[in-house]
Structure 1
Amino acid sequence: MASRRIYIKTIGTEEVKQLTSDENEQFSPTWSPDGSQIAYLARSNDGLSLSVANVSSQAAPHRLLIPQEPSHWEQGALSWAPSGSSLIYPDHSGTSPNSSIFLLDLHTFSTRSITTPPAGWEGDLNPAYSPNGKWIAFTRASETAVRDIYFMSTATGELHQLTHDHLNIDSLAWAADSSFLIFSSNRGGKYGLWKIGLKDKLPERLPVGTEDAYQPAVGPKAGELAYTQGSAIWSILRLQPSSGKETPVQSDSVLTSTQQDSAPALSPDGRFFAFQSRRSGNQEIWIASQSGDQLRQLTFMAGPLTGSPSWSNQGNKILFDSRPEGHSHIFCVPAAGGHPKQLTFGDANDITPRWSHDDQSIYFRSNRGDRWQLWRVPAAGGDPQPVTTGDGIVPQESPDGKWLYYTRGDEDGIWRVPPTGGAETQILTQPSAGYWGYWQITSRGIFYLDRGDSSSAIRLFNPDTKITSLYAMLKQTPPVYAGLTVAQDGKIVLLTDQHDAGRHITLIQALGE
């Protein structure tokens, strides 16, 4: 499996040079003020590290720090102070579940937290020093897909909130004169580039980078702007069983789009499936027949990220999560269409809802206990109650209601616990961390993604006999998170697929001229 590497391209030529010969995964590069070094993050079997490499030599990079690794290490996670004296990055403080911005002093190599996000929030991400060194901008996330821009004075620590939209902000960069910020956001539906001044009330959309534009980078001269653009083909596939053969199976594409169709959920009778899609501009819940016909939009939340559909066992209702007020909550909508009903409330984040086998309860992942756990609420309404003490996501009751099975956000495997609580036991070491949506409990057993070293497969595990069998070998590993769905009799398996994915860098040297 290919890993990310850092390369340097000389403007005006086709020359591309790899920064180091290090084979570890590398990402989030940031230049030193004098351009002689690049700091970056690397991930190896030893975990995450923050390293610095010289641009003009092949000397081995110098590892500066091993952070605790917050939940979101991404492009734009590092920024070098204009004075050259420090680096800032997101990290955890002790056992705190949310991330804050940390400062690494490059003279003493001491670290300290410089921001304090509210309890229960995802935390602070995407830090960036202003070129004049007076400000630090960052995003504050109440939940992964809900971020607003803040900036603080490096001299006094005074904090200002710049946006108040409760939408997602992918990345940001300062203008060369430190007077405004450019950022990538989905506030216009698809991700595009926007700008906002430090005293502006509303952002302004840029005339460039209007679709699928991310990771803006501003050059030292006015008008210099680079950003990435990308696309991919997303499909919902229907898998055919391998009949025990260790060769990739044929699969039929049920739906194909460039707008990220994913997370399919079959109806109990297998005639239809719900899924999340960006085909309307915003991510909403859609429904299609098993063959991909009779396509219709089910939700119209009009902005906030909406996903994780789950069909009731009676087939008349669909659960989903959405973020209309800055925190994710659970909603229920008639499968035939209608107005969604909000089921959970408060300042916590509630995601990935699933019905109990009798539709009397709803399970979901929540951080309302100041850490991620599985919770349960009566479908008719009432107070949520914790089910697990540890993390859990994508909870699914067994068909007989005796067990609650689940994955975890940052760990490999599948666990189970009695629905009323009790011992939490790991029963499988797959699917891998990040692929927590690729499994389903059925009357035949648990279908799950086995992400092997050289190939991936869908396998079937019987929790009673502990026997595992092959269902289908896959041609490629599917994208993270998105997931699969299986009919209760195991005769229909739908899988999220992504192919022809790629990104390129666009450079503009006279923006606004």
Structure 2
Amino acid sequence: MIKIRKEAVFKLEGCEVMPGENSLNFCEPVPDSVIPGKVSIQPKFIELLSYLARKHPNVVTRDELIDNIWEGNAYVGAKALTNAIWHLRKHLNPLLNGEQAIETVRKTGYRLLIEPIFDASDLVDDPQVLQVEQAKVERLSKQLRLGTYAMLLLLLFVAGSAGLHLYQDSQQLRQTEMVQLTRAAGAELYPAVSPDGRWLVYGKSSNLYLKDLASPTQTPKRLTSKRTRELRAIWSPDGKSLIYPSQDRETRECHMNRLMLETNEVSHLSECYSYTSALDISMDGHSLIYIWKEEEREDLDAGLYQLDLDAAEPTPVRVSCERDCGYRDRDVAFSPDGKWIAIARRYGTISEDIFIRDILTGEEIRLTQGLEDIRGLSWGPDSRKLVFSTENSGFRDGFVVNIESKDLLPLSVSGFSYPKFIPHRDELVYSNYIKDFSLAYLALDQDIPSTIFPISQSEYSYRNPDYSSKAKRIAYVSNETGFNEIWTSDHNGLNRVQLTDLKRRVAFPTWSHDGSKIAFLAPDDKNEGNKIHIVDLSSGGISILPSRSSDHRRPSWAWGDEWVLSSTNDGLTAFSLHNHSPKHLSTIDVRLGKMTDANTLVFTRYDEYGLWSMDISNPLQVEPLIAIEDFNESYNWVVTDKGVYFREVNSGYQLINFWSFNTDLTTPILKLPASSLSSFGAMSYIPGERRLLMTLSEYSKRDVIKLKHKLLH
């Protein structure tokens, strides 16, 4: 038998595959649609292609590929494999004039359809294996001669099984269907279908809309006023009313409202604290559960409250942890059988998980471990499974979790977000929410700044840039390995280097002032919070700063680079690089801070807008730098020697502004479409190039989709 070296170079039509360089070299002659030259691709993609080539012309199962390429990690590998196959086809299909270069064999796996050509030096004879195979052939020939009739029967059996298999596949294919329900411009979020299946309600542009699914060409009706903000609504079980949080744009007052659809009468049920507050209603219509923060109780965190809708004067009753909880409740859903409440709960800034609570006993069961950014969860009609959306290093998909076995099964639906089962049916609606991020810059030395220019252009996401004038490099987060990792590049996005290989959701890199280290956040060992990590560029080593807290905000460096500053639940804290005990500096919860000299910290805070200044040698000395009414940004800002560049969010557009130290005046620099810059992005400044770096958010049009899927039955 002939073996092939794992790192062997081989050819596919006009393409030379070079595993050692992680590249595809398209050599002439090639089809007109292919540009000759070398293309670098992700190492895992090359490893997968090489594996398929060594197995050619055989079919390779998905399980075998996940075991060998992703070390058996089915949670990551299932989605990563699908993504890798898509990218390989994108590069190789043009060699076959658009035909599939890699075949999907239903219920089995994949097969490479282009015959690979290997160099003779990469082929290795294995006489022992050859002898074994020859013995197998001789034994098989003898069996064929003695058992012709038995073989015929076997072939008939296989043919019958194959026919049954194909029939079952066709049945499953008929069970999976996606129907686009909305097609207008903009983003339709939090979709919910009425109990009779006729009406669709959703949020868009901070208002609620109602669409008649029986008349798909009819224009949706706006239900709420432009004087208020709304995005999420739920149906009453009888379908006669909608319940939703609503916030007055001027007074900022928020109420949980009930809208009677027949009369358009609106009544207040209780207070709320956000027009996107999560909520759900029990199947009997008697009880409302939602997330609320009592303004008069500053000692209480936001949590779950239950409201008796049958009471003459409903009073919210808290049903979750009150203080020092170590987590935040972010979404909630009643089970149809009335036994459970499902809760999406965030630990720290980058870890989130799902719990279910027994309504009678209050006992909680954890269903997941170490997820990221859950957006929507919904119970199946049988109350035995939950469907939810989660993001894994920039890739968003849907999953089904069984509440008894806790098994997770992927839906493999890209962009799956905010799912909601259609009442009494095994199908759901969801918002198609696909987002990509790229690094971009604004050239400030132009007489009239006109646009921002991308630095990174690829199918991967790049975000949160931070530039070091000492190292002369940009640190940022990229998901091109299948995980969010820290990378660096020069100011043009070239000469890239991967610094971490943690296979975790790293975030928010920030350079030390001397350019020798980078601080960032990554999940802790239990995936229940995050820790401050430090990568030393001289050694490549990564260390974790000691901390009793499970949650840390974005890190920044003290002036001498001996301490890293970050807020915890106790407020602003300094963490030592040399094993000294952490120093508590202030009770203020700082979102993002930057030291501008040995004593001055410029920062934004959680409790109110504005840009602030603190003397860390006297932390009680806090002063506004830019007034609250002039500064509504949290993360997209940067301090330079002449002033502050920052993003301003307005209705329908964004501005990049400059505030001057000398004049105390704010000057608009560039107007951008709404959502151009990510709300959770970052800004940095390259002095020598006079460039402003930022995270550009690239959204496709977001529509509501109705989904039928075999896993929903």
Map 1:31-42 onto structure 2 (within 5 A). 31-42=235-246
Query: Structure 1 440/189 Cα, relative in aligned 2: closer, same or farther at 3 Å?
Result: closer
Are 2:694 and 1:495 aligned? Answer: yes
How far apart are 1:181 and its partner, in Å?
Answer: 1.0
How far apart are 1:466 and its partner, in Å?
Answer: 4.7
Query: Structure 1 203/250 Cα, relative in aligned 2: closer, same or farther at 3 Å?
Result: closer
Are 2:682 and 1:468 aligned? Answer: no
How far apart are 1:107 and its partner, in Å?
Answer: 2.4
Distance of 2:479 and 2:219 partners within structure 1: 34
Asked whether the equivalents of residues 375 and 384 of structure 1 are also in contact (C-alpha less than 8 Å), the reply is yes
User: TM-score, structure 2 length as denominator?
Assistant: 0.64
The corresponding residue for 1:426 is 624
Amino acid at match of 1:395: G
Query: Structure 1 435/112 Cα, relative in aligned 2: closer, same or farther at 3 Å?
Result: same
Distance of 2:392 and 2:464 partners within structure 1: 22
How far apart are 1:311 and its partner, in Å?
Answer: 0.8
Query: Structure 1 131/456 Cα, relative in aligned 2: closer, same or farther at 3 Å?
Result: closer
Amino acid at match of 1:52: R
Amino acid at match of 1:496: T
Are 2:265 and 1:63 aligned? Answer: no
Distance of 1:462 and 1:510 partners within structure 2: 56
Asked whether the equivalents of residues 405 and 415 of structure 1 are also in contact (C-alpha less than 8 Å), the reply is yes
Are 2:399 and 1:194 aligned? Answer: yes
Deviates more, 1:308-317 or 1:112-121: 112-121
Map 1:343-492 onto structure 2 (within 5 A). 343-367=545-569, 369=570, 373-398=571-596, 400-420=597-617, 421-429=619-627, 435-451=633-649, 456-463=654-661, 465-468=662-665, 470=667, 472-476=669-673, 478-488=677-687, 491-492=690-691
Q: Name stretches of at least 5 consecutive residues in structure 2 with no aligned partner.
A: 1-185, 187-203
| Alignment deviations for residues 329-348 of structure 1 (CA, whole Å, 9 cap, x no partner) | 11111336734211143343
Distance of 1:90 and 1:224 partners within structure 2: 26
1:235 to 434, 438, 463: 438
Distance of 1:244 and 1:104 partners within structure 2: 58
Query: Structure 1 344/488 Cα, relative in aligned 2: closer, same or farther at 3 Å?
Result: farther
Distance of 2:300 and 2:700 partners within structure 1: 32
Asked whether the equivalents of residues 8 and 16 of structure 1 are also in contact (C-alpha less than 8 Å), the reply is no
| Alignment deviations for residues 144-183 of structure 1 (CA, whole Å, 9 cap, x no partner) | 4322211122233232222233544322110011111111
Amino acid at match of 1:231: I
Map 1:295-306 onto structure 2 (within 5 A). 295-303=496-504, 305-306=505-506
Q: Name stretches of at least 5 consecutive residues in structure 1 with no aligned partner.
A: none
Are 2:254 and 1:52 aligned? Answer: no
1:278 to 469, 476, 479: 479
The corresponding residue for 2:87 is none
Asked whether the equivalents of residues 243 and 471 of structure 1 are also in contact (C-alpha less than 8 Å), the reply is no
| Alignment deviations for residues 406-450 of structure 1 (CA, whole Å, 9 cap, x no partner) | 111242211111122231111103697773212222333333334
| Alignment deviations for residues 371-416 of structure 1 (CA, whole Å, 9 cap, x no partner) | xx22112332322212223221211111x32311111124221111
Query: Structure 1 358/329 Cα, relative in aligned 2: closer, same or farther at 3 Å?
Result: same
Distance of 2:656 and 2:540 partners within structure 1: 35
The corresponding residue for 1:251 is 452
Asked whether the equivalents of residues 659 and 666 of structure 2 are also in contact (C-alpha less than 8 Å), the reply is yes
Query: Structure 1 469/74 Cα, relative in aligned 2: closer, same or farther at 3 Å?
Result: closer
Amino acid at match of 2:567: R
How far apart are 1:141 and its partner, in Å?
Answer: 2.1
Larger radius of gyration, structure 1 or 2? 2
Are 2:341 and 1:141 aligned? Answer: no
Query: Structure 1 437/102 Cα, relative in aligned 2: closer, same or farther at 3 Å?
Result: same
Query: Structure 1 275/90 Cα, relative in aligned 2: closer, same or farther at 3 Å?
Result: same
Q: How many residues align?
A: 497
The corresponding residue for 2:429 is 226
* Secondary structure class of the residue paired with 2:646: strand
| Alignment deviations for residues 291-335 of structure 1 (CA, whole Å, 9 cap, x no partner) | 1222343222323x3211101122121110112331121111133
Map 1:117-196 onto structure 2 (within 5 A). 119-165=324-370, 167-186=372-391, 190-196=395-401
How far apart are 1:456 and its partner, in Å?
Answer: 4.3
Asked whether the equivalents of residues 374 and 395 of structure 1 are also in contact (C-alpha less than 8 Å), the reply is no
How far apart are 1:223 and its partner, in Å?
Answer: 2.5
* Secondary structure class of the residue paired with 1:291: coil
The corresponding residue for 1:308 is 508
Map 1:83-94 onto structure 2 (within 5 A). 83-92=284-293, 94=297
Query: Structure 1 67/455 Cα, relative in aligned 2: closer, same or farther at 3 Å?
Result: closer
Amino acid at match of 2:583: Q
Asked whether the equivalents of residues 439 and 462 of structure 2 are also in contact (C-alpha less than 8 Å), the reply is yes
| Alignment deviations for residues 182-236 of structure 1 (CA, whole Å, 9 cap, x no partner) | 1112358722111122211332223x42x22111111234421222222245332
Asked whether the equivalents of residues 191 and 213 of structure 1 are also in contact (C-alpha less than 8 Å), the reply is yes
Amino acid at match of 2:467: L
Map 1:320-331 onto structure 2 (within 5 A). 320-324=520-524, 325=526, 326-331=528-533
Amino acid at match of 2:260: N
1:319 to 519, 531, 537: 519
Distance of 2:521 and 2:370 partners within structure 1: 18
Asked whether the equivalents of residues 180 and 196 of structure 1 are also in contact (C-alpha less than 8 Å), the reply is yes
* Secondary structure class of the residue paired with 2:303: strand
How far apart are 1:290 and its partner, in Å?
Answer: 0.9
| Alignment deviations for residues 103-125 of structure 1 (CA, whole Å, 9 cap, x no partner) | 11112311101122672423223
Query: Structure 1 241/404 Cα, relative in aligned 2: closer, same or farther at 3 Å?
Result: same
Distance of 2:500 and 2:388 partners within structure 1: 28
Amino acid at match of 2:235: W
Distance of 2:257 and 2:269 partners within structure 1: 5
How far apart are 1:469 and its partner, in Å?
Answer: 5.7
Asked whether the equivalents of residues 242 and 259 of structure 2 are also in contact (C-alpha less than 8 Å), the reply is yes
Distance of 2:374 and 2:696 partners within structure 1: 25
* Secondary structure class of the residue paired with 2:343: strand
The corresponding residue for 1:107 is 310
Distance of 1:258 and 1:91 partners within structure 2: 39
1:9 to 198, 211, 219: 211
How far apart are 1:36 and its partner, in Å?
Answer: 1.3
Query: Structure 1 9/270 Cα, relative in aligned 2: closer, same or farther at 3 Å?
Result: farther
Distance of 2:340 and 2:385 partners within structure 1: 11
Amino acid at match of 1:7: Y
Asked whether the equivalents of residues 520 and 533 of structure 2 are also in contact (C-alpha less than 8 Å), the reply is yes
Asked whether the equivalents of residues 20 and 61 of structure 1 are also in contact (C-alpha less than 8 Å), the reply is no
The corresponding residue for 1:506 is 705
* Secondary structure class of the residue paired with 1:475: strand
Distance of 1:405 and 1:510 partners within structure 2: 51
Asked whether the equivalents of residues 349 and 530 of structure 2 are also in contact (C-alpha less than 8 Å), the reply is no
Distance of 1:4 and 1:41 partners within structure 2: 11
Aligned residues with identical type, % of pairs = 21
User: TM-score, structure 1 length as denominator?
Assistant: 0.88
Distance of 1:417 and 1:188 partners within structure 2: 34
Distance of 1:129 and 1:309 partners within structure 2: 39
Query: Structure 1 165/363 Cα, relative in aligned 2: closer, same or farther at 3 Å?
Result: closer
Asked whether the equivalents of residues 631 and 648 of structure 2 are also in contact (C-alpha less than 8 Å), the reply is no
Distance of 1:225 and 1:455 partners within structure 2: 33
Asked whether the equivalents of residues 334 and 342 of structure 2 are also in contact (C-alpha less than 8 Å), the reply is yes
Asked whether the equivalents of residues 610 and 633 of structure 2 are also in contact (C-alpha less than 8 Å), the reply is no
Query: Structure 1 270/485 Cα, relative in aligned 2: closer, same or farther at 3 Å?
Result: farther
Amino acid at match of 2:355: Y
Distance of 2:482 and 2:255 partners within structure 1: 37
More strand by share: 1
Distance of 1:415 and 1:250 partners within structure 2: 29
Query: Structure 1 168/480 Cα, relative in aligned 2: closer, same or farther at 3 Å?
Result: closer
